[in-house]
Amino acid sequence: MPVRRVCAVPDVIPPSLSAMLPGTHPVSKRRPKYLNLFKIHQPIIAVISVAHRISGILLVLLTPVLIYGLQRSLHDAQGFAAVRSWFDALPVRVVLLVATWALSHHLFTGLRHLYLDMGWGTALRPARRSAWAVGLLALVVTALVGAAGVLW
């Protein structure tokens, strides 16, 4: 199959050296025309990594709301009653359950990354096992908090 170059290379450079120049790598003609991320099977390590980023974003977005609720509930008795009444709404309970997942997932994945940075569990098999363990542990903690009636 013929190979085409991404950018033109002057004829004075031998082909063996032109392959090492940036931007001149051969491009296969059988590349996908679009990239559908829902049809690509990602390894568990990649899924946990993306979920770690998502949980961090959720925590950043929820922190001001939680601080406002804390400030309002500590201000006076009426503020406490108002904040307590928020928890009667189902959407608020769902958001708190998602926040619980985000916090537990981010905590456990952060600990996993610390262990990986120390060189523990960096081989593929232990890394996969720890990724599965972190994902399941975050779900178990979220389910336990939800089932314990803390949020319901």
Read off φ and ψ for residue 86, nearest 5 degrees.
Answer: -60, -35
Entry pTM:
0.72
Second CATH level (architecture) for the domain 45-147: Up-down Bundle (1.20)
For the record, the structure tokens of 104 come out as 């537990």
What is the pLDDT at residue 35? 74
* Inter-residue contact 102 to 58 (CB < 8 Å): yes
Distance CA 3, CA 43 (A): 31
Tell me the pLDDT of the chain averaged across its residues. Answer: 85
What is the tens place of the pLDDT at every residue in 70-113?
999 999 999 999 999 998 898 999 999 999 999 999 999 999 99
Q: What is the 3-state secondary structure (H, E, C) of the chain?
A: CCCEECCCCCCCCCHHHHCCCCCCCEECCCCCCCCCCCCCCCCHHHHHHHHHHHHHHHHHHHHHHHHHHHHHHHHCHHHHHHHHHHCCCHHHHHHHHHHHHHHHHHHHHHHHHHHHHCCCCCCHHHHHHHHHHHHHHHHHHHHHHHHCCCCC
Kindly give the parts of the chain with pLDDT less than 70: 1-29, 31-34, 150-152
Distance CA 35, CA 55 (A): 24
Give the domain ranges of the chain.
1-32, 45-147
For the record, the structure tokens of 9 come out as 């290379």
What is the pLDDT at residue 28? 59
Cα–Cα distances in angstroms (integers) from residue 84 to residues 66, 74, 127, in the given order = 13, 12, 42
What is the pLDDT at residue 67? 97
What is the pLDDT at residue 86? 92
